[in-house]
Amino acid sequence: MEIGNTSVDLVEVSGSLKKRRVAGITVTAVLGAGAVTVARSTGWFRSLGGRVSGERLDRARRSPQWAGGRFENSPATPTLAPGSLSAMLRMQVCGEQVRYARHPIPMETRKRVDYDRPPESGLRVTWMGHSSVLLEIDSLRVLTDPVWSERVSPSSLAGPKRFFGPPIPLAELPSIDAVVISHDHYDHLDMATVKALSARGAPFLVPLGVGAHLEKWGIPAAEVRELDWNEHVLLGGVTLTATPARHFSGRGVTNGNSTLWSSWVIKGPRHRVFFCGDSGFFDGFADIGRDHGPFDLTLVSSGAYASTWPLIHMTPEDVVQAHVDVRGQVLLPIHWGTFNLAFHDWNEPAERASLAAAERGVSIVVPRPGQMVEPSHVAGSPREPWWRERL
């Protein structure tokens, strides 16, 4: 859930897709206030996270991305398009999109033993759903934006619900060398998952300010590294660099853009991966490609786009262009097919991204949840369009 621009089912309603859409609310102010109310009433207020203050705030203020008391895109980017409020209400109630999968999504279940044998090529990826990816790169294991909870919300009782369960239980995950967070929205930063991973000793790499949330949740400061854009950390011979993105942040109605958002470059001795996080299309992708590319694999957010917020998410066609701009070799679309977060068919991102990739001659892979993929073994377009609804 992204406070301010995402649909949230406040009531679980059986029956037609139409009824389920009517159960949702996407009004910016109501959504933010409703999230706080639900969080308080269900005892999940802590999920809203911490407040950026003290030395952490001082460091934020020194960032080139800080302006006017908050983090800003450059150039400044409005979250919503003019007239979005009425448009969102209309689409929420009257939209005809198939926003929920009507059949069980095919997936592969994983166990820890599956990761005992390292990837033959040195680079392997397992898409766990949405933006959660287990990346094995040059003997390092990196987990991106891990969300294992049933809902992306401050509450376990309300909010967008998973279409499918995680392909592997948290307890079955192999040892993780780094957890990388792109920003603090609920569908990317999940309190329960963070706390479970911390109990296993996993270090967290996060954008500036996000450490305030982890501190609120009891994560030891020694486990957290906060990075501004173009800062990096070296782990086991792999360099992880926070790079620019065009997005926004906030987990409530009073802390918008108090924490930074970022994409990430993960560069090992043999392989390079670009993790987009959440971003609208911008010229910065070409800069990232020039400074850090080429990339063996790009993980680019391809879902939750809409005409009401055109600048902070990408259409599938923009996703392919971003992949080209960063000089990627194989594209793996993420941020789709797991939660109802926008006004498009749940499987449209995969269909449109695959078509756009084919038209551009881009190698793309759209794995089933839990499927292990080595980019060096991928050629051309996906062979199995598993996301297409059965008739």
CATH number at residue 372: 3.60.15.10
Position 217 in a domain = yes
Q: Write down the pLDDT at residue 80.
A: 78
Q: Per the confidence metrics, is the pTM higher than 0.85?
A: yes
Among 28, 175, 193, 41, smallest CA distance to 116 is for: 175
The segments of the chain whose pLDDT lies below 70 read 1-44, 83-95, 379-383, 389-391
Q: Where are the beta strands (DSSP E) in the chain?
A: 8-9, 24-25, 66-67, 70-71, 123-129, 132-137, 140-144, 178-180, 204-207, 224-227, 232-235, 238-243, 263-267, 272-275, 295-301, 328-334, 363-364, 372-373
Position 326 in a domain = yes
CA gap 132, 168 in Å, rounded: 12
Contacts for 159 with CB less than 8 Å, ≥ 6 apart: 1, 8, 9, 10, 35, 38, 151, 152, 153, 186
Q: Where are the beta strands (DSSP E) in 98-177?
A: 123-129, 132-137, 140-144
Q: Please report, as a single letter, which amino acid is at residue 292.
A: H
Check: CB of residue 307 under 8 Å from CB of residue 95: no
Q: Write down the pLDDT at residue 157.
A: 85
Structure tokens at 232: 């990096």
Check: CB of residue 345 under 8 Å from CB of residue 97: yes
- Write out pLDDT tens, residues 127-158: 999 999 999 999 999 999 999 999 999 888 88
Q: Which residues span the domain enclosing 298? A: 121-377
Check: CB of residue 301 under 8 Å from CB of residue 279: yes
Domains held by the chain: number? 1
Residue bearing tokens 């706390």: 195
Position 82 in a domain = no
Half-sphere exposure of 331 (CA within 13 A, CB side): 31
Q: Please report, as a single letter, which amino acid is at residue 134.
A: L
CA gap 187, 21 in Å, rounded: 19
Position 111 in a domain = no
CA gap 131, 341 in Å, rounded: 13
Q: Write down the pLDDT at residue 344.
A: 92
CA gap 34, 133 in Å, rounded: 30
Q: Where are the beta strands (DSSP E) in 32-164?
A: 66-67, 70-71, 123-129, 132-137, 140-144
Q: Write down the pLDDT at residue 28.
A: 36
CA gap 161, 353 in Å, rounded: 24
Half-sphere exposure of 138 (CA within 13 A, CB side): 16
- What is the DSSP code (8-state) at residue 118? P
Position 242 in a domain = yes
For CA atoms 21, 25, 26, 31, the dihedral sign is negative
Position 45 in a domain = no
Position 92 in a domain = no
Position 3 in a domain = no
- Write out pLDDT tens, residues 228-256: 999 999 999 999 999 999 999 999 888 89
Contacts for 324 with CB less than 8 Å, ≥ 6 apart: 360, 362
